[in-house]
Structure 1
Amino acid sequence: MYPADAEFGFELLVCRWAETSWPPTGRSGDSVVVARQLGTAERRWDTVVLECDPAGLAARGEFGPNELDSDLLHVVRNAPAEWAWYRDALPHPGYPWRYVRAAVHRAADRGAVETRRDGNRIQLRRTAAYPDWLRRIVVIENKPDLNATAARALSAQLRYDVDTGLADEVWVATETTGERVEPALLEDLPVDVGILAFDTGTAGDGPDGWPAAPGGVDASIEWYPSSVTPVPGERDDDRRGRRLELAERAYGRGWRSYHDTMRPDCRHFELRRFGRALVPYCAAKGRSQTAAECSGSCPKFEPEPPAWRTRGWPVEGGPGTGIRALLRRRREWVRKRSVREPGTDS
């Protein structure tokens, strides 16, 4: 059983599986970036997988590890190779120029462009051309217990994903039942949506459902998806821009960003290995907790003792700081390894 017996734990295992095993249809030459809980104002997805050109992804890394928001993308993508006044160099954004000027300064602070002053005018030039690094976006909805009620609620959302075509491929991830025909195949889901069935039992065969030794999470394809990439049309530029903004958020945040919304500074917060994934664990509850219940309002919450955060014991800044640093380093390590060796395990 997946950690915490809740969708959150299942989601973390799906993300880690995607990081190590994507694509499910076989080996490819693409690099992979995985994020979770990302989307637009209209739609949010559990898991987002970016299939990237390895050389382009490496070039994207030259602009730093943090995401470029829509204003920064407008500046970085259109920055000229030679010095020019920013109003001459950049296309009109559709909003006041003062916001563009602020974005130019933000981009310069990050080293994404260079600026200089010519009298009262701000000139800019690019430090490097922004690469064409994104190839495809794949979204996955995680429903470990995909019963008829859950399928009815999910069907309209999946139909929206198929019709809008913001992603190139749509999947549903569910847990295997061991039946000859997985129940997910019998539910009323859009025919364009693929179905992945995950066997998490092999990952948690130790005490309390935790693995006695590192293991993997196996997934089988129960239904192959159709490509939902729309045919070329008038709204191509708008779609390309929205996809790139989504990809930038995925690049900057990754799927391990749960430490930003949980409380690693609690003395009971731990990271434990479940298969190939590091997932949160609450020593006070004796189980893996969900993101919703791990907060300052939790009755079991106890801040780390001050002694833990001083004098460099057990780690400089305390265990909470160490957990955050570990997850950031692991994200960067996996990203760099993916660029060097697309399709390999990390």
Structure 2
Amino acid sequence: MAGAEFGFELRVCAWAERQWDPADADSDVLVARQLGTQRRRWDTVLIEADPDALRERAAFGPDELDPDLRSLVANAPAEWTYYRDALPDPGYPWRYAREAIHRASARGVLAERKRDNRIEIRRIAPYPDWVRRLVAIENKPDLDASAARALADQLERDVALGLADEVWVATRADATHALVTEMPSAAGVLTFDRSARGDASSGRTGEQERQPGATRERDTMDANIVWHPRTLDPERTGVRVTDHGDPTNFEYVPANEKRETRARIAERAYGRGWRAYADTMRPDCRAFDLRKDGDGYVPYCHANGCEQTAAECAGSCAEFSPEPPGWRQRGWPIEGGPGTAIKRLLDVRRRRRRPGLDERDGEAD
């Protein structure tokens, strides 16, 4: 079921954020959902980051830098310089580079001035090389042998391309046999058992008003490594399989193209994280709630009595009932209404994994 897979994915993300053991023990770990390329999207992406460089990345704000902005901040000089002298030839008309400069200046990630009718730029800080490793996890809680064979084809392509440093499958423990017999040996296998911890009942009944985080802790998941993955080499030329027919069609992907793709994915992971699901759902619905579940929070719909997906939780839902205006006029801890407080809670937890943002914004830690 889609809902079961969505909830499982959120639990895997929460587990990874707290429990993942990076290759370099001092690395910080950023977790994101549903990232990848036009051809392939992974359920969970882990970025193992240099902690000092990750703090330096905060100078450019909490939002992701798209490829144009990242190229600007990476090439911007330390002193005021005419932009055409400072930047490499973009390969397209310079007017588009000027538009990117204006966007970067408006966001505060680049300094811009006009002198003698020429646009000059200066960096606000050096853009750091903050990514050490990228780990991809495919989440399949309900996996039989047939589904495992289809997933194995995807993982073989991931291994051949070598865009990630490691590729994993996460599933429930009862699917282990199907995985081990069908998965490529280069892919790792993680299985999760649920262990009871605390009261599984929700902290809200009927029309009781919601306070995010007020629900009692429910089940958590314990992870077991069934199969260790082979470490891939993103610095080598990869192979992109375009057709698994007879013969198999493929194309080579140079290391510099993979390096650029990894940088784009890392920036998206920094800006989006894995808690952004509330932005595409309706937390302002009277029935929307967050449940504390082990290492993190999962959305819950009291109207339908289930953990809803982002596709199901929309204004078009027949059970949608907006919060009454009175809820939005209350003070702390639900100032602006419970829906606003839910988004605020998730954003605060996301920012905690990105050191240096509060210092940039002049906020107390």
Assess same fold via TM > 0.5.
yes
The CA deviation string for residues 266-287 of structure 1, in whole angstroms up to 9 with x for no partner, is: 1111111111211111111223
* C-alpha distance 287-230 of structure 1, shift in aligned 2 (>3 A): closer
1:163-242 matched pairs, under 5 angstroms: 163-177=160-174, 182-202=176-196, 206-207=200-201, 213=217, 216-232=220-236, 235-242=254-261
Q: Which residue of 2 aligns with 1:148?
A: 145
Cα deviation, residue 311, structure 1: 5.3
240-249 or 87-96: which moved more?
Answer: 87-96
1:68-217 matched pairs, under 5 angstroms: 68-177=65-174, 182-202=176-196, 206-207=200-201, 213=217, 216-217=220-221
Is 1:322 the equivalent of 2:320? no
Cα deviation, residue 231, structure 1: 4.7
* C-alpha distance 195-24 of structure 1, shift in aligned 2 (>3 A): farther
8 Å CA contact 1:203, 1:274 repeated in 2: no
What residue identity is the alignment partner of 1:9?
Answer: G
Cα deviation, residue 85, structure 1: 1.1
Q: Distance in 2 between matches of 1:295 and 1:116?
A: 44
Aligned length: 330
Paired-residue identity, %? 57
What residue identity is the alignment partner of 1:200?
Answer: R
Q: Aligned-residue CA RMSD in angstroms?
A: 2.4
SS at structure 1 position matched to 2:8: helix
291-300 or 254-263: which moved more?
Answer: 291-300
265-274 or 311-320: which moved more?
Answer: 311-320
Cα deviation, residue 215, structure 1: 5.8
Q: Which residue of 2 aligns with 1:255?
A: 274
Q: Distance in 2 between matches of 1:99 and 1:320?
A: 39
What residue identity is the alignment partner of 2:266?
Answer: A
69-78 or 327-336: which moved more?
Answer: 327-336
SS at structure 1 position matched to 2:355: helix
Cα deviation, residue 4, structure 1: 8.9
* C-alpha distance 203-184 of structure 1, shift in aligned 2 (>3 A): farther
The CA deviation string for residues 103-144 of structure 1, in whole angstroms up to 9 with x for no partner, is: 111111222111111222110011111001000000000001
Give 1:53's match in structure 2, choosing from 50, 64, 68.
50
Cα deviation, residue 5, structure 1: 6.2
What residue identity is the alignment partner of 1:121?
Answer: R
* Unmatched runs of 5 consecutive residues or more in structure 1: 338-346
Q: Distance in 2 between matches of 1:287 and 1:144?
A: 17
Is 1:17 the equivalent of 2:15? yes
Cα deviation, residue 307, structure 1: 2.1
What residue identity is the alignment partner of 1:334?
Answer: R
8 Å CA contact 1:114, 1:125 repeated in 2: yes
Cα deviation, residue 205, structure 1: 6.2
* C-alpha distance 297-203 of structure 1, shift in aligned 2 (>3 A): farther
Q: Which residue of 1 aligns with 2:245?
A: none
Q: Distance in 1 between matches of 2:2 and 2:156?
A: 30
* C-alpha distance 44-264 of structure 1, shift in aligned 2 (>3 A): same
SS at structure 2 position matched to 1:57: helix
Q: Which has the higher contact order (CA 8 A, sep 6+)?
A: 1
Q: Distance in 2 between matches of 1:187 and 1:87?
A: 56
Q: TM-score, normalised by structure 1?
A: 0.89
Cα deviation, residue 204, structure 1: 7.6
Provide runs of 4+ in structure 1 moved above 6 Å.
none
What residue identity is the alignment partner of 2:159?
Answer: V
The CA deviation string for residues 3-40 of structure 1, in whole angstroms up to 9 with x for no partner, is: 99610000000000000011278x82110000001111
